Structure 1
């Protein structure tokens, strides 16, 4: 007999895979009552049941590693708590490199693991052979061993989580399909669902979409963006192999394969570079523990490589050839958090085939977030607010996920660009820049010129962990900005108008800087949370008594819009995304004033147009709003031009700048210039977990003004002192490169990681930023230490500074 569907709940969780079961378990553990999980068919019947169950603790960042480690620890404990065997055993894992580039990647990951206190060891081909005697190591260069990695039984883990949720008072009801999430006045009110042909409504304060490959379509019925798409995922399981003993999980990413020994059989799976999307016509209603049709031709190249890698497979019979669907996202990272469109609509979905190792930690983090009203730590990597509305387009998703499945095992080279589903968002100058040699990258769908090729030079990336083929191009662009004048197309900046009777008081409350300034003034500021962490890093330009323009990174636009709208109280304020209305053309360098005088009759002197002000100017035969600010640390202007006049203004600038040596510059150069100046980058150097004072941004905080979000946390930190400081580093050896996540070594001990890095072409070495613990220490004591940066196991001496190494007094900016 079917369980009764309740009429009310505090929270309804949609989907009974490992993700939904984890959210239910953790909410119930936190003491939430009236937790209801609804599963359309049977628990685990979508994707969870056929997952491979690999538990790898090391992820690409500290917090993702924290979540994976939490999952591993939880799965060990669950069996004792619930009585359900999880199959969790820490047999360890080995990843092997077949190329020197892959060795560099694996050894960089090992340095990162040490920074995160993950047990790790670099191993030789001989050591690999001793640990994995069945393996052909003739062409293996090196490997990495993580002894506490493991494997598990995915379905049983979901069942154990569901049982644990029930033990703590949650209801888990199978055979109930949610057809829509109901909402009113911008917040969820519950769900409608069907059980045995009968329609029911459940009133609820919160709804969590854990619907896996159904999540996008379900979200779409409420106007919510959850971009994901299913792909076919293949593996084989052999017949029992005589003498096969317990082995570590093995990954051979250069062949896109993984190997798992289980009960004397071998499972061989793949993340092939070009995947097969699935479910374009929708998922059939009766889908439940279903397999997809075989496609042995697709899998055969993988299997042929596997037999060479492990010759015993040649004589092993195939017991199972499996093909099942899993959901993938456009950037290969899952979705967590509250959606920007509807209050109390939460998601935990899109796990890109790492759902088992992710879901334990993700369920914990989401439950804490729902309980406390803010995430327990920085989760921007997986925050649903990074998704762009256009990305729910089905054609875009179908094309993109052919690539993202394979990215799990592809070389994770720095600056690697997506190859599929490109060209969706283009600036008015796209074709102009393309004709002049631009090589484009993509952020938030925007095509941006990353670097400019010289005549006759190939216009594509040659990826490497060493200097890539555009290094000299970046150097020339960088030095042009430092010594002459450079041009950047920064149209991808997010632009938000905040206007209305209460716009000033609203922004005073949200921003840590002083917003009550004269019209035409530009304020660099942060929006903080109650912990003093940085929710947004932006400039605010006062346009009039009741109107302000907020300029934010393109990647954080949806996040920033959501933060603003979430905090509108009983106020007359209108928040509008005006990103597409204006282009942003940046003229930067010591000769910027000379160029502006050639294209405009306006006065560009310090007296007429001081730093930190904006005004309308004539340029060419058009108009622009000129903002005197910089992200590269030089004299310059950002020209905000209506999109219809953008091409004309560019042509006027280009013609006037020809004999001044005007250089077209890309995003890579913008980044190398900003890191020389120690300007922070949101999402890397500063996050919602990083206190604004410890990030070195206290100068932008005005505690004397009326109360603002985070003010008390700032005052407390001022009184208690800093626990850590953001330090700028320069490698004394000019050859090595920094990207991010390298280990920071202080007096011989790893203390943190590099949060962002690039090459300082003016300073003559790689530059990085990173936090250094400093409880009870003065600035002098912090700088008195000896610093090194560990790169792929090798330690390189570094100079440290708390002030920008380039133009510390900002004299060039104000020239």
Structure 2
């Protein structure tokens, strides 16, 4: 598409709230102006979540993506002004702790702020009192102060954006419900309204909690749940009298009292109080009916009647933390609707099967301008400068799209929104949604399961506890602090030891597997990947998927099983959606080059059989040749093991001799049993994900989503070996011209902890010469090397051998930049 064709694209945005109007503005700033924004409510106050939003913007988040969205929202709203008044009151933010666990968590949040570039400081109780004079200092232990936080004037922002974009030619149609989406030939062609069809080449649904209904118009499951959230305004508070000139003015920082699920802001002489402390109150948006033509502050679809009995405990907690409230009463309250999702992230991206249809839903005011910019970049540049993996609408598995799953998990996220959660903490319910064929055997062996993408994943096995008595001294793990010890076990050390010295079985079934087949399969994979996958059947290729700017979309393995059939080891449904879209477009351009993309994960299973004695196990139950000559490294073949037909790939992400062994799900338990029986003379064990993660880092293998994202190119990620620039054109190749590892301004580096015992978990800031210069991507205790390992992106001038420090709960852990990989750099173990 030429630039003139792109600029002439007819865009319809559904929703004139703070996301939709920001998106229109971001597109206008990029030269697009053939834009129509429709909303079922009146433009002066559409009646969605934006219309009642209290506007708090706390930027610091465990997610880098969400933090960067919030930072941009602050930046943009500060610059959006009229008559000398902008749309952001930068009063700062203060999060206070009234419990020791919360105070420790604030130290962790300070680390996030330092990692993502947000100015913040930890303050004691006295300083909290100075910053916020109305606090009850007796119950406050300390706080986190972020000076750049503040209050978004959401309604004013929307009106100024409408005014500005109208001048640029954007058409707004208020009180115009959307009744359908017109499409033809796999593309959107228009948006249906009672007044007729609005032609469109691109439709973006920014409908907020109505997004479920809009998605249903195109057969798209939008996994969000509208939930009511309580907000009250007090009557005049004597202590606030005369502090603010405007009725909704504020001078004090926004305050979060997360130990009681509460937040506070000033409204002139009144307080606004928001509470998550009540029971979840789900809503079905379709039951709210059409938005009336008249909407005001007290009458809008997103504002439900207040339930005072739910707020009563929060009112008592509020009078305790802010004694000044004892002289006031609740004057007004409502239960305001906004969106929650199964994992707490926004829903952003395009329809897998309908070109031109995009969504930007479940976006709070806090992240609104950031998300809008990201979507505008997707439309105009083909990628967002901020990685969207955590927000991509395609990230959910099918089982996670059921209404029951969305409802339960979204309500749980509401309940836990201010809780102190460990990064490995699993859902308690729903569980056992997806289990591998080996699950029964795992349970017999005492597996400790954590959950991911609906799968039950064993992290270690209690049946291996006795091995701790045999563990050599050099393999004994260091004691962990209380935080890093959660969801951890020393048994993982024994499982790592057995993998390195004998043989272990790993359940690799949750790895996403795609089958790409047909006469256009080679063409598709050659075009999308950085590797040469046109080799003869039996070849396995590790390669990358890049975007047009050279950012890493994913890393995959591609096994050519026959002339027209490939098995792809992918990272999740985002990869599936990408391959599906590209295959459809390829077929449209040349029907002879059709390729079918199928998710075969659920119908298959995989055992990773790894360790120096792996050959002894297999040779006892297979007549096939598993020697080096029979199956070389990064090769695949069909075989029979113990009577079970399998596909075997000589790959190993733990750095030991062995194979990924695939079979159909119905044969899975039998495969486990025959390998288990054959391995008994060789000391075989079942091993879990905890040992796997540690062994992976010792070998220096990257994990997509942490060690690399679309924000990183292959050279800075240390993956240039996976890029075959000599190959004919592939997506992202042109962007890499002139790139090199030596020329990269930053590099992913291996760090080892100097004291040999202090653990980190990931996302902690890394300091060089007392300045924050990067953050930890992945971390684990290296059982083979006897010390903790962390990987981090650091400026290129930080070299191997240099000393750095990792901030962990307010303390500094000394570490050294170390050559990688730490284990078997000559690859003798893998190729032996």
TM > 0.5: yes
Gaps of 5+ in 1: 1-7
- Tell me what 1:350 maps to: 362
Answer yes or no: is 1:535 the counterpart of 2:553. Answer: yes
Partner of residue 135, structure 1? 135
Match of 1:595 among 592, 604, 617: 617
Using the size of structure 1 for normalisation, the TM-score is: 0.92
Once residues 825 and 106 of structure 2 are traced to their aligned partners in structure 1, the CA distance between those partners, rounded to angstroms, is: 37
Which residue of 2 is the match for residue 375 of structure 1?
384
Q: Write the distance in 2 (CA, Å) between the matches of 1:115 and 1:399.
A: 32
Q: Which residue is 1:46 aligned to?
A: 48
5+ residue gaps, structure 2:
1-7, 244-250, 467-479
Match of 1:503 among 504, 514, 521: 521
- Classify 1:787/1:720 alpha carbon distance in 2 versus 1 (closer, same or farther; 3 Å): closer
1:13 CA displacement: 0.4
Give the CA deviation at 1:560: 4.2
| Alpha-carbon distance change, 549 to 767 in structure 1, aligned in 2, over 3 angstroms | same
Identify which of 256, 261, 272 aligns with 1:256: 261
Alignment counterpart, residue 242 of structure 1, candidates 217, 238, 245: 238
Between the aligned partners of 1:323 and 1:405, the Cα distance in structure 2 is: 14
User: How is 1:774-789 mapped onto 2 (pairs within 5 angstroms)?
Assistant: 774=796, 782-789=799-806
Alignment partner of 1:221 out of 178, 202, 217: 217
State which drifts further: 134-143 or 487-496.
134-143
Whether the aligned pair in 2 keeps the contact of 1:414 and 1:464 (CA below 8 Å) is no
**Relative to 1, partners in 2 of residues 1:412 and 1:431: Cα closer, same or farther, differing over 3 Å?**
same
Correspondence for 2:69 among 67, 70, 79: 67
Deviation at 1:168, TM superposition (A): 1.9
Q: How far apart, CA to CA, are the structure 2 residues paired with 1:273 and 1:428?
A: 40
SS at match of 1:466: helix
Q: Matches of 2:709 and 2:699 in 1, distance apart?
A: 19
Contact 2:79/2:86 (CA < 8 Å) preserved in 1?
no
Contact map agreement 2:389 2:705 (CA 8 A) in 1: yes
1:790 aligns with 2:807: yes
| Deviation readout 1:566-610 (Å, 9 max, x if unpaired) | 662422322222222211111122222222223333332222122
Matches within 5 A, 1:260-275: 260-272=265-277, 275=280
Tell whether the 8 Å contact from 2:488 to 2:690 is kept in structure 1 after alignment: no
Partner-residue secondary structure (3-state), 1:69: helix
After alignment, is 220-229 or 383-392 more displaced? Answer: 383-392
Number of equivalenced pairs = 790
**Structure 1 position 23, deviation (Å):** 0.9
For 1:638-787, what aligned pairs fall within 5 Å after superposition? 638-718=660-740, 721-774=743-796, 782-787=799-804
CA separation in 1, counterparts of 2:526 and 2:831?
27
Q: CA deviation at 1:40?
A: 0.8
Contact 2:611 2:658 in 1 (8 A): yes
Among 315, 325, 328, the alignment partner of 2:340 is 328
Counterpart for residue 3 of structure 1: none
In structure 2, C-alpha distance between the alignment counterparts of 1:68 and 1:331, rounded to whole Å:
18
Indicate the residue corresponding to 2:816 in structure 1: 799
Q: Give matches, 1:325-724, under 5 Å.
A: 325-351=337-363, 355-453=364-462, 465-468=483-486, 470-554=488-572, 556-562=574-580, 564-565=582-583, 568=586, 569-570=589-590, 571-718=593-740, 721-724=743-746
CA contact (8 A) 1:224 1:341 kept: no
Give the C-alpha shift of residue 375 in structure 1.
1.9
Distance between the aligned counterparts of 1:94 and 1:387, measured in 2? 34
Superposition RMSD in Å:
2.5
1:180 and 1:649, CA in 2 relative to 1: closer, same or farther beyond 3 A? same
Q: Deviation string for 1:197-231 (max 9, x for gaps)?
A: xxx11221100011111112221221223211111
Shift, 1:433, TM fit: 2.0
What is the match of residue 79 of structure 1? 81
CA–CA distance in structure 2, aligned partners of residues 770 and 469 of structure 1 = 23
Give 4+ residue runs of structure 1 displaced > 6 Å after superposition: none
Q: SS of 1:300's equivalent?
A: helix
Q: CA deviation at 1:54?
A: 0.3
